[in-house]
Amino acid sequence: MKICPQCQRQFEQSVAFCPFDGQQLAVSENQDALVGRLIDYKYQLHECVAKGGTGSVYRGTHLQLNMPIAIKILHSDSATDFTSVERCRREAYASMQIRHPNAIAVMDFGVTPDGLVYVVMEFLVGKTLRQKIKENRYPSLLEVSEIMTQICAAVAVAHKHKIIHRDLKPENIFVNREGDQEVIKVLDFGIAKFKDVASEEHALQLTRQGVVIGTPYYMSPEQCYGKEIDARSDVYSLGIMLYELLAGRLPFLGQSHTAIAVKQARETPRPIYEIRPNIPPVLNAVVMHALEKSPSNRPSSVEIFAQELNAAMKAISDNEFMKVFSEASEQDLEAAILLTSDPSKILSQNLASNKRSKVPASSTTKKPTMGYNNISSPPGLLPNASGLLPTMDTSAQESMMNPTEIVNQSYLDVEDKSFSDTVSSAPLSETTILNYRETFTNVSRETYMLLQIILSDLDSSKVIDGIFLSELKNAVDQLRSSIYQLQKINT
């Protein structure tokens, strides 16, 4: 940056004179010497956005592609240290091997003729998970699940390439803003361990004996004591992060790294539900399984850890569903059933009910009232249904029948009068044909989709989710009801 000596305004490096007072701009004394530099004739440095112990990260542009980039440059003292340079190269190599949407993309690594060591990465906009935790100490369970699922996806790919991260912690997880979405990115594979090149690492002496690599708060017991590690060490670190996200605090604290390492190896974490009573025990069980002291007692892979977390979240969701179902009013249940078919049909049902209420009693047949005894578990019941679902006209309750018949009755009474008034010899009207065509098309698509899901579960010997079976039954019932009405018209 340049500065005007008279008005003290700051300007870009390319500006020579102050547009306000005409003074020649001077280079700021505090200016970073690398700002404005062109590296390898294609990477332009604009500003320093972060500084660390071994290097700094700059916002830049790939001039040939006109693409924003981030460039990590080692400090001069680190650039002369072979171990630091090799770790930087290994970080670039590991990231380029992974190539996953939830891992930071590295595009280049190089050393300039004057000894500048750099790594070119995708430019991220957002904040680290540590910053996010500081802003919101207790994220929702859904948010925790989404964060951990994305982290696990990237780490699992790294493990498939025989790469152990060894330093998983909130500071190395970035929450990237992509439009209105947040995408998790795993960063910093600088101290990653390559299981296939352990002898090379030993030969290069990248980790000196007696020196602990990683952050003790998130390290597995075997890593704390410098023992051989594998993918299960990363599982332990993920368990620590999950504990922190759920409990709002770390499981082990101490006055020194040694004290923390001892606790990691010997102490059992306090159950999360004792710290936050609203955390279900099933989630605590997932965390404690990942934090087993012996690697053989933990989930054997990140995929299994993620599956356990997803299963726990599903169990919680199912319990919430049953709680809402048991506490919902009859009107909410009726509206929820209609919503599983088509939300717009609630309006049709209300209109149909109003129309039927205007018909003389002598020309109508009273339908049985639908209550709890007539309802099976509605598969589409929405969470927090009470007070959120559209309410139905109370005049319709006395004329309630089977939910499927209600849906089709709404078509009979609202969409086309010829549905109920047509005699056997009368041809179908164009509106009637269109209505039936739409009904059969929608039901056929839904049925096909559900059958594909169920057949896939059968082929893989999975337990079939009862929700899919219930939805399939509803679709078939709707199809049978439409066929029945069509038969009445054509007989």
Beta bridge partners of 10: 3
- Residue of 278, 376, 378, 385 lying closest to 324 (CA atoms): 385
> In this structure, what token pair is assigned to residue 410?
């709404």
> In this structure, what token pair is assigned to residue 70?
């981030």
How many CA atoms lie within 13 Å of 182's alpha carbon, on the beta-carbon side? 17
Check residue 177 and report its DSSP letter: E
Tell me which residue has tokens 């604290």.
253
C-alpha triplet 115, 117, 120: angle, nearest 5°: 145
Contact 217, 249 (CB under 8 A): no
Question: Residue 21: which residues within 8 A CB-CB, separation 6 or more?
Answer: 4, 6, 7
Terminal Cα distance for the chain, rounded: 86
d(CA 482, CA 444): 12
Helix 302-327 to helix 231-247 angle, to the nearest 10 degrees? 30
**What Rg, from alpha-carbon coordinates, does the chain have?**
32
> In this structure, what token pair is assigned to residue 326?
């048991």
Q: How many Å is the maximal CA-CA distance in the chain?
A: 99
Contact 238, 305 (CB under 8 A): yes
Three-state SS at 112: coil
Tell me which residue has tokens 């054997």.
300
Catalytic annotation present for 465: no
Catalytic residue among 167, 234, 413, 416: 167
Q: In angstroms, what CA-CA distances link 67 with 1, 43, 61, 117?
A: 22, 10, 6, 21
- Residue of 153, 40, 161, 29 lying closest to 90 (CA atoms): 161
Three-state SS at 434: helix
H-type helices in 358-426, by residue range? 403-410, 418-421
CB atoms within 10 A of CB 135: 9
d(CA 479, CA 448): 13
How many CA atoms lie within 13 Å of 368's alpha carbon, on the beta-carbon side? 9
In single-letter form, the type of residue at position 480 comes to: R
Show which residues are catalytic: 167
